Amino acid sequence: MFLIDKENNKLTKIVKTTFHELGFKEREHLQEWIAKAPSCLDEELLIIQKEFDGFDGTNERLDLLALDRSGALVIIENKLDDTGKDVTWQALKYVSYCSTLSKTQIVSIYQEYLDKYFNGEKAEDRLVEFFDGKSMDEIELNEEDQRMILVAGNFRKEVTSTVMWMINHNISVKCFKATPYKHGDELLLDIEQIIPVKEAADYYIKMADKAKESQSVKESNKGIEELRKRYWLELLEQFATVSKQFQNVNPSTDHWLSGGSGVSGIPFTFVVTKKYASVEISINHGDKEVNEKIFDLLYAKKDEIEKTFGAPLLWERLDEKKSCRIGSHLEEVNIANPDDWQKIKDFQCDAMPRLDKALRSLVQKVAKEV
């Protein structure tokens, strides 16, 4: 840090020092400075308690407890010239303790603070003022996830690494580096947000949201995969009572389950989705031209095939794709709804043997011709 000398048009370096060298202490000084001017942490905060120790069964106490403008609790931990290696664990413990605090408890905690340091001003009046005149009934306290702010002269690598991991997992934490300077008889304090870097804070938030969304998708996918495996198990058990066609097939987690037709690349397939279920034969025997030729030869016998099947079929040449399909659909059923399962199983157990009867021998004959 430099002092600008306008008269001589030059810079004068301001000497960087430490809290220890200046004789400052954590609770008596740094904590008090933040308590009296929480805006030094670059946001509007309402300090509601110092040295809070209202944790049943423990002797621990957090440095400062605050509320932000959304009503979330903010745990502020202060260290002097070095964080130590356990500050993140310490802060997380306090967050877990505070997560259960009710609105009534928070108001009571704040009232104790005001009684001790501010001549008994009313907590409710102060809260109404801080939340821009909202009535106490409208004010929500501790309804959102708790936050952490760590303040120190130096952050160890194990601390910054843990903090970055926490941010990436959508845990709200900020780190402020507090650096004292001396210039003659004057003392200055620089408090700089270093994690997340202020200019990149939105980026970190977006990345954390993305990670949370991705995790949600993974969990959702895992859930539907487990459902599908259960469904295939039930279907195979029921299908075994009407046909041996899938007797050597095991349940999977995919939305499809295939069995052989006697021709490589042309399996009979069960399909279940969140919108429909089907039985079909997929034609992916060779290149696109070969597949289309097989499809066309079968389509030429469409009337005969559908008569044997007993109903119209869906013929999909899929000109934009390599493979072709022929099948029968059951619409407006959802694999994610177990109440639909029996309806789907009954349809597939009825339709697949008829599709096999209508197509197996013809598929084998046509494939040989091609």
Q: Check residue 317 and report its DSSP letter.
A: -
> Distances from the Cα of 229 to the Cαs of 128, 224, 238, 239, 343, in angstroms?
55, 9, 14, 15, 17
Each domain of the chain, given as residue ranges in start order, spans: 2-195, 220-369
Tell which CATH architecture fits domain 2-195.
Answer: 3-Layer(aba) Sandwich (3.40)
Residue-level pLDDT at 211: 56
Average pLDDT value for the chain: 89
The Cα–Cα gap between 91 and 78 comes to: 10
Asked if pLDDT for residue 207 goes beyond 70, the answer is no
Predicted confidence band of residue 35 (pLDDT cuts 50, 70, 90): very high
Q: Which residues contact 108 (CB under 8 A, 6 or more apart)?
A: 123
Asked if pLDDT for residue 219 goes beyond 60, the answer is no
Condensed to tens digits (0 to 9), the pLDDT of residues 229-277 reads 999 999 999 999 999 999 989 999 889 999 999 999 999 999 999 899 9
> Distances from the Cα of 105 to the Cαs of 63, 77, 219, 297, 322, in angstroms?
18, 21, 35, 78, 66
Predicted confidence band of residue 368 (pLDDT cuts 50, 70, 90): confident
User: Could you tell me which CATH class the domain 220-369 is placed in?
Assistant: alpha beta
Per cent of the chain over pLDDT 70 is 93
Condensed to tens digits (0 to 9), the pLDDT of residues 266-313 reads 999 999 998 999 999 999 987 889 999 999 999 999 999 999 999 999
Q: Which residues contact 258 (CB under 8 A, 6 or more apart)?
A: 249, 267, 268, 269, 270, 282
Owner of token pair 């009535």: 135
Condensed to tens digits (0 to 9), the pLDDT of residues 51-83 reads 998 776 677 889 999 999 999 999 999 998 888
Condensed to tens digits (0 to 9), the pLDDT of residues 110-146 reads 999 999 999 889 999 999 999 988 889 999 999 989 9
Residue-level pLDDT at 301: 94
- Mean pLDDT value across residues 205-211: 57
Residue-level pLDDT at 294: 93
Asked if pLDDT for residue 209 goes beyond 70, the answer is no
